[in-house]
Amino acid sequence: MRVPRAFLVPFWATFVFLYIPIVVVVIMSFNASSSLFVWRGFSFDWYVEVFRDGALMAGLGNTLIVASGSTLLATVLGTLLAVGISRYTRSGLVRAFAIAPALLPDLLLAIGLLSLFGLVQLTLGLHSVLIAHAVFSMAFVTAIVLARLSHVDPSLEEASRDLGAGPLRTLLRVTIPQLAPGIVAGALLAFTLSLDEFVIAFFTAAPNAPTLPMVIYSMVRFGVTPEVNALATMLLGVSMLAIIATQRLTRITESL
Dump pLDDT digits (tens) for 56-74. 888 888 999 999 999 999 9
Burial of 228 (C-beta count, 10 Å sphere; 0-12/13-18/19+): buried
Q: Is residue 36 part of a domain?
A: no
Q: Is residue 104 part of a domain?
A: yes
Q: Is residue 31 part of a domain?
A: no
Q: What CATH number does residue 118 fall under?
A: 1.10.3720.10
- Structural domain that includes position 92: 55-255
Average pLDDT score over the chain: 83
Neighbours of 112 (CB within 10 A): 15
Instruction: Considering only residues 167 and 69, tell me which one the structure prediction assigns the higher pLDDT.
Output: 69
**Distances from the Cα of 131 to the Cαs of 126, 135, 136, 254, in angstroms?**
9, 6, 9, 30
31: left (phi over 0), alpha (psi -120 to 50) or beta: beta
Q: Is the pTM for the entire model greater than 0.85? A: no
Burial of 222 (C-beta count, 10 Å sphere; 0-12/13-18/19+): exposed
pLDDT of residue 26: 86
Dump pLDDT digits (tens) for 194-246. 988 889 999 999 888 889 888 888 877 776 677 888 888 888 887 788 778 76
What's the CA angle centered on 17, arms 12 and 19, to 5 degrees? 90
pLDDT of residue 142: 92
Model confidence at 132: pLDDT above 90: yes
The total number of structural domains in the chain stands at: 1
Distance between CA atoms of residues 144 and 189, nearest Å: 10
Q: Is residue 117 part of a domain?
A: yes
- Kindly provide the residue ranges of all beta strands, DSSP E only, lying in 113-254, ordered along the sequence: none
